[in-house]
A and B are shown apart, each in its own frame.
Chain A
Amino acid sequence: MIAFAKMNSEFEAKNACLLGLSVDSNSSHLAWVLDIYQKTGIKLPFPIIADRSGEIARKYGMISNNVDNTATVRNVYIIDNLGIVRLVLVYPMNVGRCIPEILRALDALQTADKEEGMAGANWLPGEPIIAPIPQTIDGMFERLDEIKKNKNGISWYLSFK
């Protein structure tokens, strides 16, 4: 929670809101928020859902029955501005998430959307987006000409915007 809280402003800068969830009660969450504040001075800047019945957890598939059928594992759903699920991360009880990676993935999704291409492996902000692969022979030869002219790729299937 603290890890997410520390990067909240960076998520907000990308037009994203954080929303936590656990199956514990609202009172226990309030106590948790207070505890974090008293121990670290950090006030959690985002809400935590008290999903007592587990209805939301089950709907989203946050429970891994083999591990624990009463508590959620560490899921992340990146949902876009139209309400579509764009990315899902599922981490176990005993390994925490990498918050900078979640931010990077959000950035990659938004950039790839804007450039209409794809973010390659290990993409970092500022790096070019891969152009969509041509689907026809004409498209392929057009792309080869484009690459020859702009020197923006190594083949018809790998060129950058």
Chain B
Amino acid sequence: MDYEIMMNGTVRIGQHAPDFEATTTMGTRTLNDYKGKWLILFSHPR
């Protein structure tokens, strides 16, 4: 995989959101789970 992307990818407007499969406080979630809905994905420092 490209070192640049590994260090810090960039997501640009108009791009398809990168897929993910994640452990969450409410079970596993994937990007696909949100198809048909708008998703507000936000990060928090700690």
18 further A-B pairs in the complex, CB-CB below 8 A; given A19-B39, A49-B22, A85-B17: A15-B38, A22-B45, A29-B25, A48-B25, A48-B44, A50-B22, A58-B7, A58-B9, A60-B11, A61-B11, A77-B41, A78-B38, A79-B34, A81-B37, A83-B16, A83-B31, A83-B34, A86-B13
The contact sample of 27 A-B pairs, CB cut-off 8 A, is: A1-B44, A14-B38, A16-B40, A17-B40, A19-B24, A19-B40, A20-B43, A21-B22, A29-B25, A30-B25, A58-B6, A60-B11, A60-B41, A61-B8, A61-B10, A65-B8, A73-B45, A74-B44, A74-B45, A76-B42, A77-B39, A81-B38, A83-B17, A84-B16, A85-B12, A85-B15, A86-B13
Distance to closest chain B CB from A141 (angstroms): 31
Residue in B11, B17, B44 with the greatest tally of chain A CB atoms within 10 Å? B44
- Decide if A56 touches B46 in the complex (CB within 8 Å): no
Chain B residues with CB under 8 A of A58:
5-9
Contacts of A79 in B (CB 8 A): 17, 31, 34, 38-41
A56 to chain B, nearest CB (A): 5
**In the complex, A87 Cα to B5 Cα: how many Å?**
20
Number of interface residues of B (CB under 8 A): 36
A155 within 8 A of B: no
Who on chain B is nearest to A92 by CB? B45
Please classify the interface of chain A as helix (H, G, I), strand (E, B), loop, or mixed, using the class held by over half of its residues. Answer: mixed
Most chain-A Cβ atoms within 10 A of its Cβ — which of B15, B16, B22, B41?
B41
In the complex, which residues of chain A have a beta carbon less than 8 angstroms from the beta carbon of B39?
16-17, 19, 77-79
Please report the C-alpha to C-alpha distance between residue A81 and residue B17 in the assembled complex, in whole angstroms: 11
A16 vs B14: C-alpha distance when bound (angstroms): 18
Closest to B17 in A: A79
